[in-house]
A and B are shown apart, each in its own frame.
Chain A
């Protein structure tokens, strides 16, 4: 083979092709300068084959070996971690700002203001105890306070609902992305031939999708080459495995049993009610060393369990700090735990009976709110709902980062906590106000009165967990006085404390751990049977004075009247249900500003209760939440503490957001330094390659001239 003009033509041709490819790659870079997720590419040139010849090897030109993509896998992997955190805190911050504005007194809700004016109105009343305008003012202020609490609670609840919708959107997006990544992996496996035909745009597409997935959930990225990447959550649940993909599901509340492998228990836990907490129930030994907790039952020897609301880190306690134990009951004796009624039934039916002993350490887990699942296949799914303990430490076996982490934290840990505290405030307010009011007397005595609080069963001790009396746990041993008057003359006919056992000499006082609603009814009938009739209607106690008599409530050291809802200012049980007692709202005479004095008289100008109510403003009240235990402070201080909580949380989240976004941005910058398109560089490349192209063309012209010269040789 001879080298000459022909081979030069060929060399020129290859050079033209190479320059064309380079120009085209540069053009692609330039045109995608603003495309998100596009990585800079370049054509890698390779010398053409050499042919041994004399005086030495002769090259055959140049060829384009491959088109590579500039991308730093390491930086990208670190970026996924930071981006997921940054997204989490960013989302949290954005949402918390709206929560903060909700608690901003100037925005119109003004719980603090309402509470101050409510207590001040009692002070006004104390100066004019029988003035109807002032009485109306107390009712109005009380009603405003109740409605501001309801409004705040409703706004927070709406926010939680909105968050649920947002979570559903994110779950749908994540599922679509996982599917897309698997599809891209499939295409990469088909099209990618490393070193020859690099599937650059598919790799870019995958990196973009993975970034997007990383903003929704915290991920681990394991690259096994080509389309064989494995993406899992940080906790290890597989999301994409090569061409296979898994999914998330945002679904119904959830419960699970984790029994010891030798546990003979056959049955299931059931619950009703709503809560943002995840309840972990763990059974304890009935006697030391036995290892057995016992059976589910209605009696005193039922198996006992403790409850944790933060995944088993801390257990709910009694007021004295000891771990609180609940009895495992069947359906008809549900046990109330932090707003949720819990009982045990058979595997298939909540009304059925369970069998077999429970062992110490057997656990049941209940999530009464909507739950995030990782779905492995149609028959197996796992609860991956983000969870944190009361110190804020996250459960690392669940989803922790990304928007999903943020939205769940917001729903359960932030808004959930604020709602719980608001409920505690409302409960404290209702109880304290009712406690004072129920021992007072208005301008009018009662002909009949019906309790506003009901029980689930009239034959269970009122302080028991399974009675269903809202304020049952506040009851104490003590006596409740009732005064009976002649309706026509107004003369005091009888006054006494309730006697719970007339057969025993002396007055037997109320004991919340023993006496039932039926006992209270009987005690009223036994003590005041000549003047009134006590009956139970719809599981509420009703007192009706007989003809010619009327009654007034007096001192009550047991809290029975407040707990049953007699002569109360407020009705309802939490921030969502608090309202002024219908009886007072419709008849101002029942508003108690005074009390029955030592002589059994009620005087129109008496301001005893009004003053006590005003003093409540400064009184330290015992308030307890599962997160913070029991605190003693005034209601106003408690609310201000809650507002402070929101502010501090927002500030904290803001810093975390700034912090993580700075780190994520730093990594993104580093990635951009490698994969970003620099127009200046591309322009200089363009000129370089253009000249190469011109030079190659020149080579062809030269070869052409050489051929012309050869052809023009005269034979």
Chain B
């Protein structure tokens, strides 16, 4: 049974390494401003994340079968012999490390994607501002000087 847990951890580790590579590739595509490429790779990332969560759920179920009182792999350690415990420690450490690397890379991707989006948005906002009439005061059709109070473009009361 421990062997199955180990196998699961090995798969998770490989998955994490792949995830890191995919995230790096995504970053490279973001750098090249290739939105189509980014969305393709994002699909793969989501699928990989789904598979990783399936692995996590399955290892949880395994743990319950081994010992219902145990909720984490680390908790199994006292019941393992030295050799097994060492392997388990290494696997968990590796998993932890690659998980952190993935998290760092993911936050970099997020930051860059948001910044690019923000930049496009600010250009668009600027355009919107430019097409809004700046001087909101206008004379009405009857010659009344109307001070626009809400500061927004107002078609019905504007310069018509």
Contacts and interface: CB of A to CB of B under 8 A. Distances in A.
Interface string B86-126: 00000000000000000000001001100110010011001
Given A667-B119, A669-B33, A662 B126 contact: no
A644 B119 CA distance: 34
A74 interface: yes
16 contacts: A78-B119, A78-B122, A658-B112, A659-B111, A659-B115, A662-B115, A662-B116, A663-B115, A663-B116, A663-B119, A665-B31, A665-B33, A666-B116, A666-B119, A667-B119, A669-B33
A75 B116 CA distance: 14
B123 A670 contact: yes
Given A662-B30, A662-B33, A666-B33, A74 B112 contact: no
Interface of A: 74-75, 78, 655, 658-659, 661-663, 665-667, 669-670
Interface in B24-70: 27, 30-31, 33
Contacts of B33: 662, 665-666, 669
Contacts of A661: 31
Interface of B: 27, 30-31, 33, 108, 111-112, 115-116, 119, 122-123, 126
Given A659-B108, A661-B31, A667-B119, 8 more contacts: A74-B126, A78-B119, A658-B112, A659-B112, A662-B31, A662-B33, A666-B119, A670-B123
A662 B32 CA distance: 7
Contacts of A74: 123, 126
Nearest to A660: B115
B116 A655 contact: no
Contacts of B119: 78, 663, 666-667
A669 B120 CA distance: 12
A652 to B, nearest CB: 11
A657 to B, nearest CB: 11
Nearest to A72: B123
Contacts of A667: 119
Nearest to B120: A666
Given A663-B115, A663-B116, A666-B116, A658 B123 contact: no
Nearest to A658: B31
Contacts of A659: 108, 111-112, 115
A75 B123 contact: yes
Contacts of B123: 74-75, 78, 670
Contacts of B126: 74
B31 A655 contact: no
Contacts of A663: 115-116, 119
Nearest to A651: B104
A113 B138 CA distance: 79
A430 to B, nearest CB: 38
A655 B105 CA distance: 10
A439 to B, nearest CB: 44
Contacts of B111: 659
Nearest to A661: B31
Contacts of B108: 655, 659
Nearest to B122: A78
The 5 closest A-B pairs by CB, nearest first: A662-B31, A666-B33, A659-B112, A663-B115, A663-B119
Contacts of A75: 123
A684 to B, nearest CB: 27
Contacts of B115: 659, 662-663
Nearest to A74: B126
A25 to B, nearest CB: 28
Nearest to A662: B31
Contacts of B31: 658, 661-662, 665
A659 to B, nearest CB: 6
A52 B144 CA distance: 41
B13 to A, nearest CB: 23
A78 B123 CA distance: 9
B25 to A, nearest CB: 14
Nearest to B28: A658
Contacts of A666: 33, 116, 119
Interface centre among B33, B112, B116, B119 (most CB of A within 10 A): B119
A666 B27 CA distance: 14
A77 B108 CA distance: 26
Nearest to A659: B112
A669 B30 CA distance: 14
B113 to A, nearest CB: 10
A658 B30 CA distance: 10
Contacts of A669: 33
A404 to B, nearest CB: 24
Contacts of A665: 31, 33
A669 B122 CA distance: 16
Contacts of A658: 27, 31, 112
A556 B72 CA distance: 55
A661 B28 CA distance: 12
A662 B122 contact: no
A662 B115 CA distance: 9
A665 B119 CA distance: 12
A424 to B, nearest CB: 29
Contacts of A670: 123
A675 to B, nearest CB: 15
Interface centre among A659, A661, A667, A669 (most CB of B within 10 A): A659
A74 B112 CA distance: 21
Nearest to A77: B126
Interface centre among B31, B108, B122 (most CB of A within 10 A): B31
A262 to B, nearest CB: 46
Nearest to A75: B123
A274 B31 CA distance: 42
Contacts of B27: 658
A666 B122 CA distance: 13
Contacts of A78: 119, 122-123
B117 to A, nearest CB: 11
A110 B101 CA distance: 28
Contacts of A655: 108
Nearest to B31: A662
A82 to B, nearest CB: 8
A659 B123 CA distance: 18
A335 B123 CA distance: 55
A658 B115 CA distance: 12
A662 B112 CA distance: 8
A240 B123 CA distance: 26
A74 B124 CA distance: 11
B126 to A, nearest CB: 6
B38 to A, nearest CB: 12
A659 B116 CA distance: 9
A667 B30 CA distance: 14
A667 B119 CA distance: 8
Nearest to B118: A663
A673 to B, nearest CB: 12
Nearest to A669: B33
Contacts of B122: 78
Nearest to A664: B119
A663 B122 CA distance: 13
Contacts of A662: 30-31, 33, 112, 115-116
Nearest to B107: A655
B106 to A, nearest CB: 13
A665 B126 CA distance: 19
A655 B30 CA distance: 13
A74 B119 CA distance: 12
Contacts of B30: 662
A655 B119 CA distance: 18
A640 B123 CA distance: 46
A221 to B, nearest CB: 15
A169 B124 CA distance: 39
Nearest to B27: A658
A308 B72 CA distance: 50
A75 B112 CA distance: 19
